[in-house]
Amino acid sequence: MKHIVSVLLGLVLPFAAAVAQNPDGPCLTIGGYGEVAMTRNFYSDNVYRYSSASSHQGEEHGRFDIPHAVIYLGYDFGKGWTMQTEIEFEHTGTGGAVEKEFEEAGEWETEVEKGGEVELEQFWIQKSFCPEFNVRMGHIVVPVGGLNNAHEPLNFFTVYRPEGEYTILPSTWHDTGISLWGRTLHWRYEAMVIAGLDAYMFNTENFVKYGAGSPFEFKAANQLGFAGRIDNYSVKNLRMSLSGFYGRAFNNTYPYEVIPESSRYYGVVGRTAIGAFDFAYTGKRFIARGNVDYGHVGDAAVISSMKRNRSANNAPYKKSAVGKGAFAAGCEAGYDILSFFRRKDSEKQLFLFGRYEYYNSYVPDEGQEAAGWTAKHRIAVGLNYFPLPQIAVKAEYSHRFLKAGYNPEPSVSLGVCYMAFFKR
C-alpha cells in the first residue's frame, strides 16, 4: 500500500505544482471510472467441468469483485502539447495471483504478469498540429474492436465487459508505440505502430488475449505490430467503425532466438491478423451497440507444439494450444422506460436492455484436436438505472449456451459503476 501511495503522489504532485504556477486557466484534468460486481453462477467452477460435464451438474458458486478502478491524470502544457496517464487497479489488490488452470490438468499456477494488479495503462505525450493531424507517442490504448475503443463501464449495459471481445482480444489493449490520428466533420482515423504480440502467450480459451502482455520487466519488440481504426459519424447519433491489427507474433519474446535453417521451426513467423467492425447508436431514449471480430494466427499448430515444449521448464508461457482462428459477434439494445414517466428536467434514466453474442476462441488448425466447449452463445437481459449521468446501477440475468454434452451456464449479477471527469 505504501508503494502505491508513493507512486500516486509522485504522479499527482508535479501536476498540482504546475497548475499552481499556471495563471492562464485549468490545465490539469482528473477523472476515472470504477466498477463493483456481485455474481451468483449456477454452474460449476471445477477444472473438469468441460471434460467431465455429467459429474458437475447442479453445482453453483458466487463471486464478488471490483474488476477495475481507474484514475486519469492529464495535463495541457500549451502550444499543442498534452499528456495523459491512466492508472488501473484490478481486482482490489497488487502482486501475482494464483489460479487453477483447467486446461492444464487442474494444476495450480502462479500468474506472473507485467504490472501485477496495478498497471499504467496509458502514458503518452501528444503534439497536436491541427484537428486533422496529431502525433502521440508512449503507452497507448490500441482501439481494435468496439470494447477497446470504449471500455469504460457506462459504454456497455452488462455488469461485466462484453464477453466475446473480452475473451479473444486483449482488454484493455494497451501498448507502447507511436500513433497518428485526426478528426474531420464526419470522420476520425488512427494509425499505430506498436510492439508486436507474443505467440507464446496465446492459448485455447482466450486466443490472443494475453499476447499483448509481458511476464518480464520490459515488452519484447523483436517484431512490430500495425493497428488502425476509422470511425464515421455521417448519420446523426450513429458511429460506424472498422479497425484491425497485423503483425508477426513468433519469436517475439525473451530471449530472442536465431532459428537455423536446419530447424523444423525455420520460416515460422506466426502472422497474426485481426479485423473488426463495430457501431454505436446513442439516442435520448434508445441505445444500440454491436460488434463483429475475426482473428487469424498463421502456423498455429507449429507454434502450439513449440510453446508447450518451452513451458515444460517452468517458463512463464501459456501451455495450451492456440487455434488458427477465433470469432466474436454481439449486439445489445436498451430503451429508457423512465422516459414515459419522468419530468423533463430530470436526469434519471432506467434502461431495459437485452444482449446476444456468439464467440469461439478456438478454431483448430490442420492436425489440431477440436475443443467443443470454446463455442458459446450468450444472452443477457437486465436493467441499468442512472440516478445521475455519471453513475449506473446494473442488474442482469445471463445464460451461456454450449454445445450438446456440456452443461448450460446461467448467472445473475448486480453491479454499480461510475465514470467522471473533473478539471482543476
3-state SS, residue 60: coil
* Average pLDDT score over the chain: 88
Q: Which helix (H) or strand (E) holds 302?
A: helix 300-311
Which tens digits make up the pLDDT trace of 277-305?
Answer: 999 999 999 999 999 999 999 999 999 98
pLDDT higher than 50, residue 13: no
Task: Name which residue leads in pLDDT, 113 or 272.
Answer: 272
Mean pLDDT of 394-409: 96
Could you list the beta-strand ranges (E) of 79-223: 81-89, 97-101, 107-111, 118-130, 133-141, 174-183, 187-195
User: What sign does the dihedral 85-90-92-95 (CA atoms) show?
Assistant: negative
What does the angle CA 159 – CA 154 – CA 295 come to, to the nearest 5 degrees?
A: 75
The span from the CA of 335 to the CA of 343, in Å, is 17
- Contacts for 236-241: CB closer than 8 Å, 24+ residues apart: 237/281, 237/282, 237/283, 238/279, 238/280, 238/281, 239/279, 239/280, 239/281, 240/277, 240/279, 241/146, 241/149, 241/276, 241/277, 241/278, 241/279
Question: Has residue 265 got a pLDDT over 90?
Answer: no
Q: What is the mean pLDDT of residues 188-203?
A: 96
H or E element in which residue 305 lies: helix 300-311
Residue type for 274, please? I
Closest C-alpha to 208, from 7, 361, 311: 361
- Spatial CA neighbour of 329 closest among 153, 168, 142: 168
Q: Flag whether the pTM goes above 0.85.
A: yes
Confidence of residue 239 (pLDDT cuts 50, 70, 90): very high
Report the candidate in 346, 409, 423, 381 with the shortest Cα–Cα distance to residue 59.
409
What cell numbers appear for 75 in the block? 495535463
Q: How far apart are the C-alpha atoms of 65 and 304, rounded to whole Å?
A: 33
Q: How is residue 76 written as a grid cell?
A: 495541457
Backbone Cα Rg of the chain: 22
Tell me what pLDDT residue 248 has: 96
Q: Is 233 helix (H, G, I), strand (E, B) or coil?
A: coil
User: Over 70: is that where the pLDDT of 102 sits?
Assistant: no
Flag the least confident range among 49-58, 252-261, 385-394. 252-261
pLDDT in tens, 311-365: 556 677 888 899 999 999 999 999 999 998 877 778 899 999 999 999 999 999 9
* Residue 115's pLDDT band (cuts 50, 70, 90): very low
pLDDT the model gives residue 221:
93
Q: Of 15-29, 237-251, 265-279, 367-381, where does mean pLDDT reach its minimum?
A: 15-29
Report the pLDDT value the prediction gives residue 424, as an integer from 0 to 100: 58
- pLDDT for the residue numbered 216: 83
Q: Distance (Å, rounded) from C-alpha 100 to C-alpha 256?
A: 30
Which residues face 367 on adjacent strands?
Answer: none
- All structural domains of the chain, each given as residue ranges with its CATH number in brackets, are 2-423 (2.40.160.10)
Cell numbers representing residue 219 in the block? 515488452
